[in-house]
Structure 1
Amino acid sequence: MTLPTVVIGFLGSQLDHGRGAARWERWRPTVSLVQHEDLLIQRLELLHQPEHQDLAERVRQDVLSVSPETQVCLTPLPLHDPWDFGEVYAALYDWVRQYPFQPEAERYWTHITTGTHVAQICMFLLNEARHIPGVLLQTSPPRRQRLGDPGRYELIDLDLSRYDGLAQRFADARRDARDVLKNGIDTRNPAFNALIEELERVVTRSRAPVLLTGPTGAGKSHLARRVYELKKARHQLAGEFIEVNCATLRGDGAASTLFGHKKGAFTGAASDRAGLLRSAHGGLLFLDEIGELGLDEQAMLLKAVEEKRFHPVGSDREVQSDFQLIAGTHRDLRAEVLAGRFREDLFARINLWSYQLPGLAQRREDIEPNLEHLLAHAAAEGGRRVRFNAEAKAQYLRFAQSPEARWRGNFRDLAASITRLSTLAEGGRIGTALVAAELQRLRHLWRDEDQDTSTAGVDLQRWLPAASLEALDLFDRLQLAQVLAVCQRSRSLSEAGRTLFDRSRLQRAAVNDADRLRKYLLKFGLSWEAVRPDGAVPPAA
């Protein structure tokens, strides 16, 4: 059963105008709606300005003369300025909100051919937002003016699921955007792919700060640059990409580097300096290792992010800079806030969109596609094409994807490894002998790192009574010494737990490294408060 049709539209003060018998020789959009033999309109909601009341009444009578079954409801809509977008939208919105729509009993068509361009746009937006629960109606005059020819009408449903071609274009555009963020690498890790999919939606729809966390070498800087390239291609940013490693900023020069200074602000300030925040105006500012910033710089940054303005060092006059902020850190900023080393208000401001980038050891399935990408990059830089032979590639991947491969430097370790292989390859081919030598090099590298983080200097007598220590097997003494060595190098209980359980935690649905470590220490009558290094973050209450 076809539902009754209700058309909502504006009176066309020019197109619907006409007097005398000659008016029937003209195409008038509103009257033409009821002239189609295949179309019955039960009700016409005709909005008009009060000064056009006479014209509205004439159009109503003409509609009724053609289609007596059509009910015409004239609705005056007072507008001081019909070209003021805010005023027109507000008036239409108020009318729509009080209108008794009954989608289950009537179908609604929004006529967008008449009215000012502003009115047409507002009607479109109200329909698109489903404040008007219907479809758009567009009418057009006949190609050749003939008496009684109503022209054409077309219905436009904004539900894009009905337009497979358009839907596919949107899907392709989103896939292309994700490819930009992944640098064209066909990554296979489900968690990372899900992260990229959400990040693509966030950065293309919002200018809010984004926080990227994760271990050194996980790709935070690279991802920030890809976000910039995506937004630049979408014409969402016009400025430059400015990258700052906050760990390199020290002392009085930190504020000057970021916020600029006035000539004479301090010894050595021989001229004005704009600062990197001003250089990022209209673009993207990536603050890597933001946790290394001093508290004073954090306060200045918070003002710059919230108000888009700040004072350069030594200046009484504020300057402006409107930039997109992406921050990166390998630290646990929540723990830094608890320790008083990071401002809670700044953390709250940059933590709206926070993403934890997994290390390479947690993305072993992505090693193979990254190999091809790194080889292509090496070829572009070195000017010669290099490839693994099949046996050598399988040999390399067996090691790279095994637990033996530590990848402590994450993608930096992998990139360095492929650079060595491509440089040493003869005839553009990486063979098994070259791979064997590289794997030996990596094992030696990580073994040296293990020695650097050994139990040297750990005296168990500092924590355990002699009697308790004598009762322990050599195995337990060595294991406990290693655990305490890790605790002494860690800034928090959680960080120590992540280091110690770096493999088994990947197999667990729910991860609580801190609780596992606390229970282990308790077996020996120890607590984190007793073994933590000076300056470490105490656990939350």
Structure 2
Amino acid sequence: MQKVALGLLGPVLDQGTSHKRWERWRPTVALCQQDDLLIRRFVLLYQRRYSRLLKKVVEDIRQVSPETEVIPRLMEFDNPWNFEEVFSALHDFAVAFPFDPEQEEYLVHITTGTHVAQICLFLLTESRHLPARLVQTSPSRQPETKTSGDYTIIDLDLSRYDRIATRFNQEKNDDICFLKSGIATRNHQFNRLIEQIEQVAANSVEPILLTGPTGAGKSRLARRIYELKKARHRLKGTFVEVNCATLRGDASMSALFGHKRGAFTGAIQDRPGLLRAADGGILFLDEVGELGADEQAMLLRAIEEKTFLPVGSDMESASDFQLLCGTNRDLNAAVAQGTFREDLLARINLWTFHLPGLRERPEDIEPNLDYELDRFAERTGTRVTFNREARRHFLTFAMSSVAAWSANFRDLGAAVTRMATLAPGGRITVEEVDEEIARLRRGWPQNNGNVKNDFLAGILGEEALADLDLFDQAQLTRVLEICRSSRSLSEAGRILYQASRREKKTTNDADRLRKYLAKFGITWKDIAGK
């Protein structure tokens, strides 16, 4: 394809009208002197007061490169150092220019013009308003190429530069590892979740909502998001964390939005409030579902307008913060019940990430176990390890359906702390593991998170139930519910196998159901008697 160059006439670097000009390197002329770069058209932008210089440069280009057609385009600047003026003029030129990228290859010459103009050309090329690559010319140290100099073509598609791409990928991986606290998590869905959070943290200032059960790591992740943004210079303020469950009554409005002296009994001095403290940084509202109605209304305005009224004040305060929220409640259900504002939920629900509990990530228990051991060593200065049998024994329990982990990582962290503290000689044995398992099971709710636990336990027994995966428990529970509402085994079978029985020439639904129940040691008599 034919190459078309676009550039600015350089009144300093391109100057020269006497014969001595051929002894100097002049970038606009030099671009057309390259043996391996044939410029078919050169769209040269100039200001009227440099018309004499333009004429001489055009003549010189014709002399060194007769194949090059120079097309002068007048572009006036009152102040070539005014960014807004220069960018607007170049932007208008880019929008109006009849580019034909399928037939022509475009190069934007960024060696001439003021630094402001060069920056504007770079931005317009990077944004693809100018569908081109950048070309930069420079003087040569070699005597034989002194006037023609050298040139470099710069492609702004960074993915084509292997070393740069590798560096960016490594930085991204480092950021993801940082958000995971350096834990080599194995759960695919969780790792994908953290990748998305890394992208949002880097590129968005909109509210982020972190949901998940108690102890899933919402607070720790919120602080990590702040630290990541701080390291990337995306904010300059502080991290302010508020547990909304601790805010009650009149004090909650004052704590969040501040108050004026004398606003209420005990207000002996002005208080700026936590929203003001988060100005320029991040405000993390943990358990946001616990906020009262008045606080929700004030918060909505603060998010949308960045202003709010302190208690007892007629003058608005301003605070520009990014909001992060955490909750273990179903906020949609709270909206339906009238305890949470629908418009506030819509505002904080743009980026919502659900952090799964420990039971949903059994493959991540082992790397988190090692992480908790490292944390214990950092706190106490003592390195404690498991012996091989004890480690295997604990992981077998921790990853089984028996382990409820109702407080999630708080439970795991507490368990490791207890075992490490009681370990004789810094070595956790099976004895410490057995004691800890018994302690955990006593402290967890009796249902251990199992579906219809009391009903199943009454039929299977506690030990048999503990050996069943949650999937089997859920499926078996539903089957038994159908059986209990049916008059016979055949009727229950017809309901349960309604879709698949259509494809069979002969059906024996009762026999299929009997065999399924037999896998769990259950008979129709066991069900009918319940």
TM, length-normalised to structure 2: 0.84
Q: Shift in Å at residue 144 of structure 1?
A: 6.5
CA contact under 8 A between 2:258 and 2:273: conserved in structure 1?
Answer: yes
Indicate yes or no: 2:102 matched with 1:104.
Answer: yes
* Per-residue CA distance 1:438-479 (angstroms, 9 max, x = gap): 11111222255769x999xxxxxxxxxxxxxxxxxx969979
Separation in 1, partners of 2:455, 2:272: 60
Q: 2:470 matched to 1:503? A: yes
- C-alpha displacement at 1:51, in angstroms? 2.9
- Residue 195 of structure 1 pairs with residue 193 of structure 2: yes
CA shift in 2, pair 1:5/1:150, >3 Å: same
Inter-partner Cα distance in structure 1 for 2:145 and 2:425: 82
Q: Please tell me whether residue 211 in structure 1 is matched to residue 209 in structure 2.
A: yes
Number of the residue aligned with 2:267? 269
Q: What is the aligned counterpart of 1:120 among 104, 115, 118?
A: 118
Residues 174-201 of structure 1: per-residue CA shift (max 9 Å, x gap): 0110111000000111111001001101
Structure 2 distance, partners of 1:48, 1:225, is 53
Alignment CA distance shift 1:475-1:214 (3 Å):
closer
Matched residue, 2:493:
none
Question: Would you say the 8 A contact 2:253–2:295 is kept in 1?
Answer: yes
Distance in 2, Cα, partners of 1:503 & 1:84: 67
Aligned to 1:251: 249
Map 1:30-109; keep pairs closer than 5 Å.
Answer: 30-109=28-107
Q: Distance in 1 between matches of 2:277 and 2:159?
A: 43
Aligned residue in 2 for 1:464: none
Contact 1:25 1:146 in 2 (8 A): no
Quote the offset at 1:339 in angstroms.
2.0
Do the aligned residues in 1 keep the contact of 2:6 with 2:106 (CA within 8 Å)?
yes
Checking the alignment, whether the CA contact within 8 Å between 1:25 and 1:147 is kept in structure 2 is no
Q: Which of residues 129, 138, 141 in structure 2 aligns to 1:140?
A: 138
Indicate how the Cα distance of structure 1 residues 181 and 506 shifts in structure 2: closer, same or farther if over 3 A, else same. farther
Distance 1:74 1:405 in 2: 78
1:293 to 274, 291, 294: 291
RMSD of equivalent CA atoms: 2.8
Q: Distance in 2 between matches of 1:119 and 1:126?
A: 11
Equivalent residue number for residue 158 of structure 2: 160
Q: Check whether the contact 1:218–1:410 (CA below 8 A) recurs between aligned residues.
A: yes
CA distance in 2, matches of 1:382, 1:241: 27
Deviation beyond 4 Å, 4+ runs, structure 1: 144-148, 447-451, 474-479, 505-508
Unaligned runs of 5+ residues in structure 1 are 456-473, 480-501, 525-541
Deviation sequence 1:117-170 (CA, Å, 0-9, x none): 111111111211222222110001123677863111111111222211111000
Distance 1:372 1:244 in 2: 30
Indicate the residue corresponding to 1:320 in structure 2: 318
**Residue 347 of structure 1: CA displacement?**
1.1
Instruction: Tell me which amino acid in the other structure corresponds to 1:440.
Output: A
TM-score normalised by L of structure 1: 0.83
Deviations 1:18-67 (A, max 9, x none): 12212222211101112223322111011122332332222112111221
Q: Decide whether the 8 Å contact of 2:140 with 2:146 is kept in 1.
A: no
Say which is worse superposed, 385-394 or 101-110, in terms of deviation: 101-110
Partners of 1:318 and 1:45 in 2: CA distance: 54
- How far is 1:80 from its partner? 3.1
Give distance in 2, aligned partners of 1:144 and 1:478. Answer: 93
* Cα distance in 2 between the residues matched to 1:119 and 1:7: 16
Correspondent of 1:306 among 286, 291, 304: 304
Given the alignment, which residue of 163, 173, 176 partners 1:175? 173
Matches of 2:236 and 2:32, distance apart in 1: 50
Query: Alignment partner for residue 362 of structure 1, among 360, 363, 386?
Result: 360
Following TM superposition, by how much is the alpha carbon of 1:113 offset from its aligned partner in structure 2, in angstroms?
0.3
Secondary structure at the residue paired with 1:355?
strand
State the match for 2:4 in structure 1: 6
Please tell me the residue identity of whatever aligns with 1:347. Answer: L
Counterpart of 1:154, as a letter, is T
Does 2:438 correspond to 1:440?
yes
Cα 1:523–1:228, aligned 2, differ >3 Å: closer, same or farther?
A: farther
1:172 CA drift (Å): 0.6
Q: Specify the alignment match of 1:484 in structure 2.
A: none
**Cα separation, partners in 2 of 1:81 and 1:317, compared to 1, 3 Å:** same
**CA distance in structure 2 between the aligned counterparts of 1:142 and 1:189, rounded to whole angstroms:** 56
Contact 1:26-1:145 within 8 A present in 2 as well? no
Once the two structures are superposed, what CA deviation does each residue of 1:367-419 show, in whole Å capped at 9, x if it has no partner?
Answer: 00001110111111122110111111110000100111111111111111111
Q: What letter corresponds to residue 470 of structure 2 in structure 1?
A: R
Inter-partner Cα distance in structure 2 for 1:380 and 1:344: 44
Q: How far apart in 2 are the matches of 1:234 and 1:476?
A: 53
Selected match of 2:23 from 17, 22, 25: 25
Q: Residue 93 and residue 142 in structure 1: after superposition, are their counterparts in 2 closer, same or farther (change >3 A)? A: same
Deviation at 1:107, TM superposition (A): 1.4
1:270-298 CA-to-partner distances (Å, cap 9, x unmatched) read 11111111111122111001011011111
Contact map agreement 1:286 1:325 (CA 8 A) in 2: yes
Whether contact under 8 Å (2:10, 2:113) holds in the other structure is yes
| Compared CA separation, residues 185 and 476, structure 1 to 2 (3 A) | closer
2:415 aligned residue (417, 421, 425): 417
Closer, same or farther in 2 for the Cα pair 1:476/1:366, shift >3 Å?
A: closer
Question: For residue 346 of structure 1, what is the aligned residue in structure 2?
Answer: 344
